[in-house]
Amino acid sequence: MQVFRYSQARTVEGAVRANGTFLAGGTTLVDLMKLNVLQPPAVIDINGLPLDRVESLPNGGLRIGALVRNSDLAWNETVKEKYTVLSEALLSGASPQLRNMATTGGNLLQKTRCYYYRDTNYACNKRQPGAGCSALDGFNRIHAVLGGSDHCVATHPSDMAVAMMALEATVHTQGPKGERSIPLDEFYLVPGDTPEKENVLVPGEIITHVTLPPLAAGTRSHYLKLRDRAQYEFALASVAVVIQISGGNITRARVAFGGVATKPWRSREAERALEGHAATTETFSRASDAAMAGAKPLQYNGFKIELAKRALVRTLETTTQTA
């Protein structure tokens, strides 16, 4: 670990002015600093900021502070009752100890678990632009089949962000040029030619809170995570579904995938294949085919395509059976 300057922010404005790397739960940042993957010259502790509340909004939506711990959010009564998919996603992630420390903002910004990114002995464009991508010709079993490029195929590891994508969350920030409200689907960037740029934040910009829109009465949601072991493991494929059904037909659908893409992946193709159609296994299968039509497998991860398809069908079957 390299020498760095440490300070504590007392206000959001002060954190922005400090112009450094923000430290909240530290469940990703500290690990990567120890590995010399990240070497920030300045670390600003933001744990003292008043950003740790979950609040219902007048329009029926929800405001989630950036410092709300994952455990607190998962067990919040409003989240459990109205935004079930989010509670399920959070409880499927990491371990109880990590969930007690990890924050909402930090979860959105967590780094990939690509082993080539985390090992400085290997070339990685995300870590060092222009160095090359060791995963392309390496052991790429855990890597992306959607959203990749010739420069990077690392998957985004968050479970929470996948659920928030299906819930059409908005990320609220404060930075050197003021406040911004960014739809989550526009917050993340695919790697393209610049895999080191993972989101639209600018230096000094901090996430202050996330808002979730109100859900119509009768909305159903579910999160399914498939992985190599039942606990403390990242997804090989995961699915978040938020749907409304009337008269046996799906009137509205939101679908997002995790574990298979370079960012939490909203599938508008699957949504179009679902909306206006009967809630049947045949419809679900067509939606899963549409969702994975653009997938590009690597040498060792082709199984993810079929896995993701089956995950979506199973998630939809579970969701539509929920009374």
pLDDT per residue as tens digits for the range 251-304: 999 999 999 999 999 999 999 999 999 999 999 999 999 999 999 999 999 999
> Is 130 inside any structural domain?
no
Average pLDDT of the segment spanning 234-240: 98
Query: Which tokens hold the place of 66?
Result: 């950036």
Please tell me the pTM assigned to this model: 0.97
Q: How confident is the model at residue 25 (pLDDT cuts 50, 70, 90)?
A: very high
Amino acid (1-letter code) at residue 75: W
> Is 15 inside any structural domain?
yes
Please name every residue paired with 253 in a beta bridge, in sequence order, or none if there are none. 243
> Is 72 inside any structural domain?
no
pLDDT of res. 322: 55
**pLDDT > 50? residue 323:** no
- In degrees rounded to 5, what are phi and psi of residue 220? -120, 145
Average pLDDT of the segment spanning 229-237: 94
Percentage of residues in the chain with pLDDT exceeding 90? 97
> Is 56 inside any structural domain?
no
pLDDT of res. 61: 98
CA atoms within 13 A on the CB side of 164: 30
Q: Domain of 313: which CATH number?
A: 3.30.390.50
pLDDT of res. 19: 87
Average pLDDT of the segment spanning 65-72: 98
Which among 35, 33, 77 is positioned nearest to 54, based on CA atoms?
Answer: 77
pLDDT of res. 253: 98
> Is 16 inside any structural domain?
yes
**pLDDT > 70? residue 159:** yes
Range of the domain at 229: 220-321
> Is 142 inside any structural domain?
no
Q: Domain of 42: which CATH number?
A: 3.30.43.10
Average pLDDT of the segment spanning 108-134: 98
The total number of structural domains in the chain stands at 2
> Is 108 inside any structural domain?
no
> Is 63 inside any structural domain?
no
Maximum separation of any 2 CA atoms in the chain, in Å: 63
